[in-house]
Amino acid sequence: MYSTDLADVYELVYRSRGKDWAAEAEDIAAVARRHTPDADSLLDVACGTAAHLGPFSKLFATAEGLEIAEPMRDLAARRWPGLTIHEGDMRDFDLGRQYSVVTCMFCAIGYLDSVDDMRSAVAAMARHLAPGGVLVVEPWWFPEQFKEGFVAGDLARDGDRTVARISHSTLQGRATRMEVRFLVGEPSGIRTFTEIDVLTLFTREEYEQAFTDAGCRVEFHPGPPTGRGLFTGVKEREVSGR
């Protein structure tokens, strides 16, 4: 997953679908500030190529990322020099500080293998929230939304490069197994590569319980940004005793 080949064409393919990371970042910042108007720091977990993190850096005084895949971190560093992107696993990272907002976008949490892993990730993200801070997670599909045999296709062009992407989805246990084949045409020739994505179909209730157990009041908002909705959680403020 997330090879150098994929990092190279990742944003191009999704831009061809009309995805606008900057607009999504503005929407997420607005969502967070409805709960925490003075939010000034953000951590983007599984930030990938920094497609969201770059725009976030223009909206918050401090914006940092966390990414486990080296090819994605390397590309992000080249595209957005000066950004702080930590190497780490969303399930057990510890950066030694807290943020006003923590995000985990574009279904990245679905790549975790089990409910326990997802719960660990939500707990780790919540630990990095200041009291009253906002956690925003974009989930993968819920189990009842899965379509066996679903096929998706994209054709993207950028200058003298053309990329075709075709995916086929099947059920593997309680996860979506997507076989994704890419065909990349460039002046030097045509190359192909295949990625296998396995994304767990967590239930809405499993996500909500993970937020609650991590000390966050949770809401689910169907729809945007990609049709799968968003979970938002506000970290409970500690009440000091007398």
- The answer to whether the CB of 97 falls within 8 A of the CB of 65 is no
| Coil/strand/helix, residue 41 | strand
Rounded to an integer, what distance in angstroms lies between the CA atom of residue 81 and that of residue 88? 19
Joined tokens for residue 126: 């919540």
Query: pLDDT tier at 240 (50, 70, 90 boundaries)?
Result: very low
- pLDDT tens-digit readout, 56-102: 999 999 999 999 999 999 999 999 999 999 999 999 999 999 999 99
- Domain ranges across the chain: 4-142+203-235, 144-200
67-71, 124-128, 138-142, range with the lowest pLDDT: 67-71
Residue 242 pLDDT exceeds 50? no
Exposed e or buried b per residue across 141-159, where buried means at least 16 C-beta atoms within 10 angstroms of its C-beta:
bbeeebeeeeeeebebeee
**Cβ pair 186, 36 in contact under 8 A:** no
pLDDT tens for residues 100-119? 999 999 999 999 999 999 99
pLDDT at 48 over 90: yes
Of the candidate CATH numbers 3.30.1550.10, 2.40.50.140, 2.20.130.10, 3.30.365.10, the domain formed by 144-200 belongs to 2.20.130.10
Cα torsion 178, 89, 115, 48: sign: negative
Specify the residue for token string 């780490």: 88
- Which pTM does this prediction carry? 0.94
Indicate the pLDDT class of residue 2, thresholds 50, 70 and 90. Answer: low
pLDDT given at position 8: 86
User: pLDDT digits over 174-192, tens only?
Assistant: 999 999 999 999 999 999 9
Q: Provide the CATH number for the domain formed by 4-142+203-235 in this structure.
A: 3.40.50.150
Q: Which tokens hold the place of 146?
A: 């899965």
Confidence at 241, pLDDT banded by 50, 70, 90: very low
Mean pLDDT of the chain: 95
